[in-house]
Amino acid sequence: MKFQIRGENIQVTAALREYVEKKVGRLAKYFENSSPADVQVTMRVLKGEGTIEVTIPLSGVILRAEETHEDMYASIDLVVEKLERQIRKHKTKLIRKLRTESTNKAAGNSRQAVAVLTEDLEEGEDVDIDIVRTKRFNLKPMDAQEAVMQMDMLGHSFFVFQNSDTNDVNVVYRRNDGRYGLIEPK
């Protein structure tokens, strides 16, 4: 990592520079292959409080944190903690995205498998489908809004219910974009 450290209303001493490079440099362990080229650090003192601002440009995202404390060394520690949280959050999002993409690929493969199975069935061959679990429950009449609330309280991604308006069995589900969908029979 290359550091660009500047001070406003403060002389950046060798000790401060070394401390920043040591503490912020520890973040390099989170950047497996691609280490950030330039890390911009701005230190300033206003009204007796030290503020540090760190900006780390990466491909696709810019990490930025700012902390203020009476002691400049404490503000450096706090800003590093904040950046670590941001990095972990960003990595978690990437991991979730990768998992979702791999799940979608697996779903595509299972759709292909279902297509092959239906072709086999059309040809008259017997195919064993192994159902590993059966669940039975009572359907409570409710409207779609209440069903969504029940689903969220249970932490499920779908919920089967009897629609109180139509007396039909409906399903509400959570879409990938975070909104909700409703499945009704024709």
pLDDT tens readout for residues 114-157: 444 444 444 444 446 777 778 787 787 889 888 888 887 777 88
- CA dist., res. 180 & res. 148, Å (int): 8
Considering the segment(s) 2-95 as one domain, its CATH architecture is: 2-Layer Sandwich (3.30)
pLDDT tens readout for residues 66-99: 899 999 999 999 999 998 888 888 777 777 777 7
pLDDT of residue 114: 47
Q: C-alpha angle with apex 94: 91 to 98, nearest 5 degrees?
A: 140
Q: How confident is the model at residue 183 (pLDDT cuts 50, 70, 90)?
A: very high
pLDDT of residue 162: 92
Percent of the chain with pLDDT over 70: 80
pLDDT of residue 112: 53
Q: Is the domain 141-183 a CATH 3.30.465.10 member?
A: no
Extents of the domains making up the chain: 2-95, 141-183
Q: Which amino acid is at 141?
A: P
